[in-house]
Amino acid sequence: MDGFTLYHTGDSDLIPEMEGLRPDVAFLPVSGTYVMDASMAAEAALKIQPKVVIPMHYGSFIGSTSDANRLKEALKGRIEVVILKKE
């Protein structure tokens, strides 16, 4: 979108194809159930180097806000993590 890139991983684990993507914003799952957990999401973020990471796939049926907070702590000082308010 006008040079602004979003990367939505969907239901994914850490995969080699993520390397070098460089989106502006990356939506990464963090629950660890059927998808990557917070530590794998942090590793993915460091590989793709987005400007902002938004954790997803937690808090409804699986995972919790603590998963999103673990990702934020793991990337502190390196990549901005924005935890969106649940609606």
Q: Is residue 76 part of a domain?
A: yes
* Residue 77, pLDDT above cutoff 80: yes
Query: Where residue 34 falls among pLDDT bands split at 50, 70, 90?
Result: confident
Task: Write out pLDDT tens, residues 44-63.
Answer: 999 999 999 999 988 877 88
Q: Quick check: is 37 in a domain? A: yes
DSSP secondary structure string, 10-27? -S----GGGTT---SEEE
In a domain, 9, yes or no: no
What is the domain range of residue 33? 20-81
Give how many domains the chain has, as a whole number.
1
Angle among Cα 7, 48, 61 to the nearest 5 degrees reads 55
Question: In this predicted structure, what is the pLDDT of residue 80?
Answer: 98
pLDDT band at 21 (very low <50, low <70, confident <90, very high): very high
CA-nearest of 77, 62, 67, 2 to 28 is 67
pTM here is 0.91
